[in-house]
């Protein structure tokens, strides 16, 4: 178990626990990915995206690429949130220009009843092997973040069968047959709990739950269909691995921060539509905050990026409890040097926010 691992650089884990740090730690959502030429080269060799995910050595290689290029404070497992529905037998394909597609979307009660809860040591063995391989390659250099999708976000893809929709099918189920959706979400909560537990056992030092689509729900529905299943996952992880920090990230979830902090998680991810300083006043005495520069800032000029970094640091203010990140994944067309400008600015400016 990762508890007690000695790391050369532990400021990410310290910030998540709101312990003093010398400067603000920084990493980027989707830091390994298509904006990097070295990623595109490895990906071209591996074939399609899922073949890359199923190859632990290649996953390790692309996880390390942004670490070798930039001064980042955390590594994140290279994988995808859709590995769980794929392991449930839905037939995942990534179609160029269309995103993820499931050949066997979940549409009725029978399909939900038939869904297995994947065994992380069997159907998802390739992910756990990637964690082990990456952990070994990192040594004591940096902490490793494991991750999974939130039950609501996974259910969205499983029911709609594809991304980029108006959520008509899953919302119809939520409104017409809420108990049916509850049953699916309960299976997903159990699956994600076991999956993250296995990632931790294999060497993940912190875990993050990506709730990409929780923000499309009305407030009461968010609490029932998105937050409640995530709360079950947090409760499970706090039982089996109490010292491992858990980060919850609901995109467009700024109005729910108090309820999210109530789950007992350690940190909340914020996108740029939420003011970091106001979020700190609301929940910063209970959880750390991660975020929240709009990734589109990385298309601006270096001087403008530096000023934007300063504004994010100013907005959080003095003291620990902030992990600098983008407010969502880095965009594919981002010039890699501009990501470097952001990271260097955090390293240069942030010590001033940690003076005792």
* Shortest Å distance, C-beta 20 to ligand CP3: 27
| 156 scored as a contact of ligand CP3 (CB under 6 A) | no
Residue nearer to ligand CP3 on the CB measure, 252 or 350:
252
Contact between 251 and ligand CP3 by CB under 6 A: the answer reads: yes
Contact present, 274 and 293 (Cβ < 8 Å): no
85 binds ligand CP3 (CB under 6 A): no
Interface with ligand CP3 includes 31 (CB under 6 A)? yes
Could you tell me which residues are beta bridge partners of residue 267? 247, 288
Put the strands of the sheet holding 246-250 in their side by side order. 75-76, 144-149, 206-211, 246-250, 267-269, 288-293, 322-326
Q: Which position among 12, 70, 78, 152 is part of the footprint of ligand CP3 (CB under 6 A)?
A: 78
Q: Cβ distance 75 to 59 under 8 Å?
A: no
Stretch binding ligand CP3 (CB under 6 A), from 77-85, 128-136, 198-206, 287-295:
77-85
Q: 18 or 184, CB closer to ligand CP3?
A: 184
Tell me 218's DSSP state.
-
Q: Which of 10, 73, 80, 205 is catalytic?
A: 80
Active site residue 43: yes
Q: Is 311 a catalytic residue?
A: no
Is 301 exposed, middle or buried, given 0-12, 13-18 or 19+ CB atoms closer than 10 A? exposed
By CB under 6 A, what part of segment 47-76 binds ligand CP3?
49, 76
Between residues 18 and 198, which has the closer beta carbon with respect to ligand CP3?
198
- SS3 track for 71-87: CCCCEECCCCCCHHHHH
Q: Which of 43, 54, 280, 347 is catalytic?
A: 43
Check if 30 is active-site: yes
> Is 157 flagged in the annotation as binding?
yes
Tell me the β-bridge partners of 99. Answer: 95
- Ramachandran quadrant class, 203 (left: phi over 0; alpha: psi -120 to 50; beta: rest): left
147 touches ligand CP3 by CB under 6 A = yes
Tell me: does residue 80 bind ligand CP3 (CB under 6 A).
Answer: yes
Helix segments in the chain, DSSP class H: 11-16, 37-46, 49-53, 56-69, 83-87, 109-114, 125-138, 151-160, 168-176, 178-202, 219-221, 228-240, 257-262, 276-283, 302-316, 336-349
b/e per residue, 146-169, with b = 16+ CB within 10 A?
bbbbbbbbbbbbbbbbeeeeeeeb
Applying CB under 6 A, which part among 79-87, 170-178, 239-247, 295-303 lies near ligand CP3?
79-87
In the complex with ligand CP3, the residue whose CB is nearer, 81 or 341, is 81
Residues lying near ligand CP3 in the complex (CB under 6 A) are found at 29-34, 43, 49, 76, 78, 80-82, 94, 99-100, 147, 163, 210, 212, 251, 328-329
Q: Which residues are annotated as a binding site for substrate?
A: 30-34, 80, 157, 212, 328
Q: Which residues are catalytic?
A: 30, 34, 43, 80, 157
């Amino acid at each position: 178990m990762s508890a007690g691992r000695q790391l050369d650089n532990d400021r990410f884990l310290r910030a998540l626990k709101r312990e003093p740090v010398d400067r603000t730690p920084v990493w980027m959502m989707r830091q390994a990915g298509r904006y990097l030429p070295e990623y595109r080269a490895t990906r071209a060799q591996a074939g399609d995206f899922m073949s890359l995910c199923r190859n632990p050595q290649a996953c390790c290689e692309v996880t390390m690429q942004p670490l070798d290029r930039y001064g980042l404070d955390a590594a994140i497992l290279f994988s995808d949130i859709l590995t769980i529905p794929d392991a449930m037998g839905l037939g995942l394909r990534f179609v160029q220009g269309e995103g993820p597609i499931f050949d066997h979307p979940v549409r009725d009660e029978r399909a939900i009843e038939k869904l297995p809860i994947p065994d992380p040591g069997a159907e998802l063995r390739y992910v756990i092997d990637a964690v082990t391989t990456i952990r070994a390659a990192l040594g004591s250099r940096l902490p490793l973040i494991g991750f999974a999708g939130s039950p609501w976000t996974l259910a969205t893809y499983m029911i709609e069968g594809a991304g980029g929709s108006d959520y008509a099918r899953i919302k119809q189920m939520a409104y017409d047959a809420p108990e049916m959706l509850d049953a699916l979400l309960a299976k997903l909560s159990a699956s994600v709990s076991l999956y993250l537990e296995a990632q931790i056992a294999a060497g993940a030092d912190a875990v993050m739950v990506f709730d990409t689509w929780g923000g499309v729900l009305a407030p009461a529905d968010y609490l029932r269909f998105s937050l409640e299943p995530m709360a079950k996952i947090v409760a499970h992880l706090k039982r089996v691995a109490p010292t491992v920090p858990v980060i919850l990230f609901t995109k467009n979830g700024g109005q729910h921060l108090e309820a999210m902090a109530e789950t007992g998680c350690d940190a909340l991810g914020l996108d740029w539509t939420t003011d970091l300083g106001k979020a700190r006043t609301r929940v910063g005495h209970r959880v750390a905050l991660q975020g929240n520069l709009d990734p589109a800032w990385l298309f601006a000029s270096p001087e403008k990026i530096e000023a934007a970094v300063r504004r994010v640091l100013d907005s959080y203010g003095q003291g620990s409890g902030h992990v600098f990140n983008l407010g969502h994944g880095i965009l594919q067309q981002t010039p890699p040097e501009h990501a470097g400008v952001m990271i260097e600015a955090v390293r240069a400016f942030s010590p001033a926010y940690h003076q005792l």
